[in-house]
Amino acid sequence: MNNLRKYIIENEQHFDIDPPQGHKERFISKYQKSKERKNIFIKISVSAAIITLIIWPFLNISNPNGCSIDIDKYKRLFEDNYIKVYNKAEQLNPEDKIFIIETLDLINNQAISIEEQLPEFMNACEITQHTKEYYTNKIESLERISNTINQLINK
């Protein structure tokens, strides 16, 4: 370190050199350009953040696993379809009618709700998914029974 100080002190006259002609102007020009680029980058970043905040509520990105499913919609759809199929079964002959209505009752009646049957260690998303599948299967069963009723009526 002492050698470096000694070298600088001994050669001080060599370090006092004026920069080439126009150096200051070129330096200021480059500095201004980099400052402009930085300002443009900041403006683009802020704009992107604002657009993301505006669009975010309309995207379902926050729930990619389908946790935002409206289970009540599936329950209402099942109940509506159940009533329609039950009313359609009223048109059948007494033997078929009893068989179909008993089947409908088996699908509709549950001693314990699906939510109570699922294990406690499941998170809300898993419970929602299983409940959706449960009602989807019930709705599909009603559709099959409705098709069977149509076949019996058209016999």
Q: Tokens 């179909």 label which residue? A: 100
List, for residues 19-66, the tens digit of each pLDDT value: 778 877 888 888 887 777 777 878 788 788 888 878 776 665 445 555
Mean of the pLDDT values across residues 110-134?
83
Do the Cβ atoms of 142 and 100 come closer than 8 Å?
A: no
| Residue 96 three-state SS | helix
- In this predicted structure, what is the pLDDT of residue 62? 47
The model's pLDDT over 53-78, given as tens digits with 9 standing for 90+, comes to 787 766 654 455 556 778 888 889 99
Predicted structure pTM score: 0.54
**What confidence tier does 87 reach under pLDDT thresholds 50, 70, 90?**
very high
Structure tokens at 38: 């930085």
Collect contacts of 9-12 with beta carbons under 8 A, ≥24 apart.
Answer: none
- The answer to whether 146 and 84 are in contact (CB under 8 A) is yes
For residue 118, the 8-state DSSP code is: S
**Mean pLDDT score, 111-122:** 80
